[in-house]
Amino acid sequence: MSAQISAAAATRDLHVWEAGGDASAEALAAWVSARLAAHESALAALLAVEGARTPENSLRHYDAAIEQLSLAGAQSGILNSVAAEKAVRDQAQMEAQRVAMAGSALSLNRAVYDALAAIDLDGASPATKHYVERTLLGYRLSGVDKDEATRQRLHALHDKATGLSLAFGRNIQEGGKTIEAAPEELEGLPADYIARHPAEKGEDGKERVTLTTDPPEMMPVMTFAASAALRERMFLAYNTRAYPENRQLLLDLLATRQEISSVLGFRSWADLATADQMMESAANVRAFLARLDEASREGARHEHAQVLAFAHERQPGLAEIGIVSRGYWYEQFRRTKYDFDSQSVRPYFPYARVEAGVLETAAKLFKVEFRPSPSPAWHPAVSVYEVFEDGRLAGRFYLDMHPREGKSKWFSAAPVVVGVRGRVLPEAALICNFPTPEEGDPGLLQYSDVVTFFHEFGHLMHAILGGHTEWVGLSGFATEGDFIEVPSQMLEEFFRDEKLLQAFAKHYETGEVLPSELIQNLKRASAFGRADWVRTQLYYTTLSLDLHDRDAAGIDPDAITRELYKNFQPWTWLEGNKMYASFGHLTGYSSNYYTYMFDKVIALDFFAQFDPKNLLGGNAGERYRKTVLEQGGSKPGKELVRDFLGRDEEFAAFSKWLNEEFEQAASSC
C-alpha cells in the first residue's frame, strides 16, 4: 500500500512547468526522476503481492506505474516540442529518451508479465479483461518470452531506435530555412501577407523580402504566388530543411527496426507494427491500399486532365504542371470553374473568431462548457481552458497555436495528463502554427486552416471525454493506433455545413456573415481534387509502408520516394525533393501512415449517421460521445465501430464523398 500512496502523492505534482521545468533543465530532470522513481515503486509493489492475484491488488499497481510513465513521457515530449529555451528542449529530448528506455525495460520485464498473466479475471469487467489481454499481447510482441540475452539485445535496439527517432524529429523542428524574394515575386499573395513581409534593401541596394518555411508563410506561397520560381525555391527549402542529416538517421532507424522484427520472428517491421492493430497485417494494408488505388485512379486522371487543359489555355507554352505548381493551378482552376477564390473567405476567418467558433461548436456537439482558466502553462502565449459538464470540472486543455522560434512547426494534439475516473482530471494540448494575430493584423486563416483546427480539436476532445476510464492504460485516445484519427477526421466534415460556418464566420472589418452563395461555391470547389488528394495520401502511405516492408540494407530513400511519386502522381517530379527527410510521421506512425486513409473511411461512415439538416441536433452526437469517445481504449476499435454503427464500417460513404464533385457536375447538366 505504501507504494500506491507514493505514486498517488507523486501525481499531485502534475505539471513540470509548475516545478520550473519550462525555464530550467535541472528542474525538468528532477521532475522526471521523481516520476520514474514513483513508477519503479509501483512496480515493486506489484511484484511484492503474495497469494492470488486480482485486478485490485495487482493491476492497480501496474496501472499506477503506467500513470507515472505516461505523465513523464507526455510532458517531456511537449517541452521537447515547445520549450522556448534550447537548453530545455535539449534536456526534454534526453528525458523523453530516458522515459522511453524505462518503457522498453518494462515491456521486456518477464516478472511483471508473469504477474499480470496470473491475474484472475473471473468477474472482472470487459474493459479490465481487454486491458490485461491487450497488455499481455503487447508484452509478447516486445519479446518478453525470449531468453535473457535476447531481451537485453531487444532493449538495446529499442533504445537505439528511440534515440534515432528523437534526433530525426528534432532536425525537422529546428531545421527551418529562409528564402529571399524580390517584391514583385509576391504577386498573387494576399494583401495582408504582403504587408506582413515588408521589403528591405540589401547592401547591393536591391529590395528583398525574407520568407520562412514555417507553415503560415510556406503554404500561401505554394497556393497563391504567381511566380513559379518563388514556389520552386520555397518548395525545395521546405523539403530539404532536415536534409542531409535525416537521410542517414532514417537509414539507421529502418535497419534497427528491421533487426527488431527479425529477432521477434516477423518478416518485416510492417508486419510487427500492424500485428496489434485493427488492420492486423501488412498484407491487409496492401489490400486496402489497392482498393483505394482503384477507387481514385479514374477520378484523379479526370481532375488532372481538366487542370492541365486549363493551364494550357492560360499559358499556351506550358508543357506540363510540376509538383511545385499543383496547388497554384488548382487554385486558379477553382476560381474560374466554381467562381471561388479561396482568398475571398479569409477575411471571414480571423484567428480569434475561428477559435471561438470551434469552441462554441464543440461545446454544443458534446454538451460541455469551456471556460478560460488561470492555470499556468509552459509559455505566456498559451491559452488554458477548463471543460465543465453539468457544472462539474471534467478536464483542462492548452492551446499553443502560433509559431515561435524553436517550436515544432506542424499541427498536433498531445496528452498532458492522462485522466483516471474520480482521481485525476484529463488534460491535453494542441500544438499548432496558425498565423499570429497582431495589432492591425487579425491573423486571417484559410478555410483549410479552419478544418485543420477542428481536426486537431477532435483529438483533444477524445482525450478529455475519453479520459474518465477506470484505468490509465485505457484512458484518453488509448485505442489502437489505426483508430486514433477517426474522431478528428469526422469533425472535419462539420465545418462544411453552412449553418455552422455562418455561426462564427464574420468579416473582421464589417461584421458581415459569410454569404451563403460563397459557402456553396466553397463546397463545390473543395469537392474538386479529392481523388488527387487520395492519390497523394496513397503516395505517403505506400512510402511509409515500403520503407518498412523490405530489406533495409538495399534501401535508397531518394529512389523509392521518386519512384512512388511517379506511380501515384501525374505532376512532374522535381529533382532535389528530399521530402522523406522531413516526413515526421515516419518516426511516429512508422509503417502505419495508412491510418489516415483507413480512418477516413470509418470517419465518413460515422458522419453519415448525423442529420445533415441539423448536425448538432438529434441523438447521433450523444450516441457518438457515449459509444466512442467516452470509451477511450476500453474496447477494441472494431467494437467501437460496431457499437456506433451497428455494423462494421462500409466503403459507401467514402465512395460518395470521393465522387461528390462528379455527382454535382452531373446534376447540374
Q: What pLDDT was estimated at residue 82?
A: 95
Q: Can you tell me which residue has the cell 506582413?
A: 196
Closest Cα partner for 262 from 275, 274, 247, 272? 272
Give Cα 444 to chain centroid, integer Å: 23
Q: How many CB atoms lie within 10 A of CB 129?
A: 15
Indicate the domain borders of the chain.
2-107+109-142, 175-238, 347-531+595-668
Q: Which residues in 100-117 are b (16+ Cβ under 10 Å) and which e?
A: bbbbbbbbbbeebbebbe
Q: In this model, does residue 4 exceed pLDDT 50?
A: no
Residue 1 has pLDDT above 70, yes or no: no
Model confidence at 6: pLDDT above 50: no
Q: How far is CA 515 from the centre of its chain?
A: 32
User: Which residues 6+ apart lie within 8 Å of 538 measured at CB?
Assistant: 289, 292, 293, 296, 568, 597
Residue from 376, 425, 369 nearest 398 by CA: 376
- Identify the pLDDT of residue 320: 92
- Residue 46 identity: L
CB 522 within 8 A of CB 243: no
pLDDT at 203: 85
Residue 664 pLDDT grade (very low, low, confident, very high; cuts 50, 70, 90): low
Residue 11: predicted pLDDT: 39
The three-state secondary structure class of 429 is: strand
Say yes or no to pLDDT of 659 above 80. yes
pLDDT at 662: 61
| Under 8 Å between Cβ of 113 and 132 | no
For residue 376, pLDDT beyond 70:
yes
From the list 373, 376, 416, the residue with the least C-alpha distance to 19 is 376
Residue 23 has pLDDT above 90, yes or no: no
> What pLDDT sits at residue 665?
54
CA torsion, points 648, 652, 653, 655, in degrees to nearest 10? 140
**Beta partners for 398?**
384, 429
Give 320's contacts (C-beta < 8 A, 6+ positions apart).
Answer: 308, 572
Cβ neighbours of residue 615 closer than 8 Å, sequence gap 6 or more:
365, 494, 497, 499, 500
pLDDT at 496 over 80: yes
Candidates 3.40.1390.10, 1.10.1370.40, 2.40.160.40, 1.20.910.10; correct CATH number of 347-531+595-668?
1.10.1370.40
Query: What share of the chain in percent tops pLDDT 70?
Result: 96
**What 3-state class would DSSP assign to 641?**
helix
Percent of the chain with pLDDT over 90: 93
227 closest CA partner among 216, 238, 235, 237: 235
Q: Look-up: residue for cell 513559379?
A: 228
Question: pLDDT averaged over the chain?
Answer: 94
DSSP 170-223: HHHHH---EEEE-GGGGTTS-HHHHHHS--EE-TTS-EEEEEESSHHHHHHHHH
The mean pLDDT value for 466-483 works out to: 96
Using one digit for the tens of pLDDT, what is the confidence trace for 126-143?
Answer: 999 999 999 999 999 999
One-letter amino acid at 413 equals A
Kind of pairing between the strands at 392-400 and 383-389:
antiparallel
Identify the three-state secondary structure at position 427.
strand
The reported pLDDT for the residue numbered 126 is 97
Question: Confidence band (pLDDT; 50, 70, 90) for 13?
Answer: confident
Cis amide leading into 244 (omega within 30): yes
φ and ψ at 416, to 5 degrees? Answer: -110, -50
SS3 assignment for 304-343 = HHHHHHHHHHHCCCCCCCECCCHHHHHHHHHHHHCCCCHH
User: Which of 15-29, 201-215, 310-324 comes out lowest in average pLDDT?
Assistant: 15-29
* pLDDT exceeds 60 at position 668: no
2-107+109-142 and 347-531+595-668: identical CATH topology: no
Residue 319, pLDDT score: 84
Read off the C-alpha cell for 388. Answer: 465543465
For the entire predicted model, the pTM comes to 0.94
| E strand segments, 287-441 | 369-372, 383-389, 392-400, 412-417, 427-431
What's the average model confidence in pLDDT over 232-243? Answer: 98
What pLDDT does residue 10 have? 37
For 157-170, what is each residue's pLDDT tens digit?
999 999 999 999 99
Chain segment 586-640, per-residue pLDDT in tens: 999 999 999 999 999 999 999 999 999 999 988 999 999 999 999 999 999 999 9
Pairing of strands 427-431, 392-400: parallel
Residues 72 and 14: beta-carbon distance below 8 Å: no
CATH label, 2-107+109-142, candidates 3.40.50.10800, 3.30.1330.20, 3.30.830.10, 1.20.1050.40: 1.20.1050.40
> Given a cut of 60, is residue 2 above it in pLDDT?
no
Q: Is the predicted pLDDT of residue 303 greater than 80, yes or no?
A: yes
